[in-house]
Amino acid sequence: MATALDAVATPDGLRLGARWALRSVADAPSERSRRPGRTYVVRSAEGGPELLVDLHRVPDHPVRACYPFGAQDVVVGLVLPGPDPAENGPGLAARLLRDLVPALFALSPRCRRVVAAPDEDDTATQLALEAGGFRRIGEADLPGGTVVLFAVEPPAVAGLSTALDDMPH
């Protein structure tokens, strides 16, 4: 079965609709880009600043040590535009995430979770993730420093009861 990252290997694999222009970046200037994954430059069809989006499978990312991951889970990394409030990076990123996450789940039906792990002092990205539908899970110490773990699950997983009375006996 294809995974979300298999599908985004080709330029036509990931579709975000007419609201976004998406182009793959061969060599992104970030530490995260050294791990297997894909990096995209994304721009709203309405114009505005560009966002960088890194996609990695959790088994290929240090965040794998933070929770009992599924083999098809995906890590999303965001690089927002500069600190100029007029660019509205967090608002733009939140809109992008609301379109990106369902596209990732559609590409990989076995994906249980899309996670993000911004640095603990990156409050702009944390706000964007929360506004984009991610839930804050907790903090974790990774080799590069402390991160805040965020996650979103597809409705079929998020709607499952975790009450002990509902568990099979």
Residue 83, pLDDT score = 61
Domains annotated for the chain, with CATH where assigned, are: 4-160 (3.40.630.30)
Cβ(48)–Cβ(16) below 8 Å? no
pLDDT tens string 119-154: 999 998 999 999 999 999 999 999 889 999 999 998
Element (H, E) at 5: helix 4-7
- pLDDT, greater one: 68 or 7: 68
User: If you average pLDDT over residues 55-73, what whole number do you get?
Assistant: 90
The DSSP secondary structure of 66-132, one letter per residue, reads: SS---TT-EEEEEE---S-GGG-HHHHHHHHHHHHHHHHHHH-TT---EEE--BTT-HHHHHHHHHT
Residue 150, pLDDT score = 97
Task: Please give the Cα distance from 161 to 18 (Å, whole number).
Answer: 36
- Asked if residue 36 has pLDDT above 70, the reply is no
| pLDDT above 70: percentage of residues in the chain | 73
**Strand 38-44 vs strand 114-116: parallel, antiparallel, or unpaired?**
unpaired
Residue 5, pLDDT score = 44
DSSP code of residue 163: -
pLDDT tens string 14-25: 777 778 888 888
Residue 97, pLDDT score = 94
115 falls in which pLDDT band (50, 70, 90)?
A: very high
- Asked if residue 7 has pLDDT above 80, the reply is no
Task: Please give the Cα distance from 73 to 59 (Å, whole number).
Answer: 8
Task: Please give the Cα distance from 9 to 106 (Å, whole number).
Answer: 15
User: If you average pLDDT over residues 164-169, what whole number do you get?
Assistant: 68
Residue 132, pLDDT score = 94
- pLDDT, greater one: 31 or 75: 75
